[in-house]
Amino acid sequence: MVLGNFEEEVPTAAQLEAAVDAMAMIAARHGVPPERIAGHKDHSGQTVCPGRNLARFLENGWFRARVEARAGPLTSRHKPP
């Protein structure tokens, strides 16, 4: 998905878009609502992963908004139209 030390480096636009693609695909497949998207460090006190320069896009809601725009309302995908 993305590889780098984002405590030091800033993710490229292509890396961010690739991350959105992967998140949208996985979220749609598993019915994960965008508000559940979180960082590794949100689930472990042992890491700063994904690093502040990437976590910023989680914390300000950018990833959630982009995934929602890409995938549509995910929770409705499992209901009949």
Q: Is 40 in the site for Zn ion (CB under 5 A)?
A: yes
Sign for the CA dihedral angle at 50, 54, 43, 37 comes to: negative
Distance from chain centroid for Cα 48: 16
Q: Is 49 in the site for Zn ion (CB under 5 A)?
A: yes
Query: Is the peptide bond between 81 and the residue preceding it cis, with omega within 30 degrees of 0?
Result: no
Cβ nearer to Zn ion, comparing 9 with 72: 9
Q: Smallest distance, Å, CB 31 to Zn ion?
A: 22
> Candidates 11-19, 27-35, 37-45, 67-75 — which segment interacts with Zn ion by CB under 5 A?
37-45
Cβ nearer to Zn ion, comparing 3 with 79: 3
How many other β-carbons are positioned within 10 Å of the β-carbon of residue 75?
13
Which spans of this chain sit near Zn ion (rule: CB under 5 A)? 40, 49
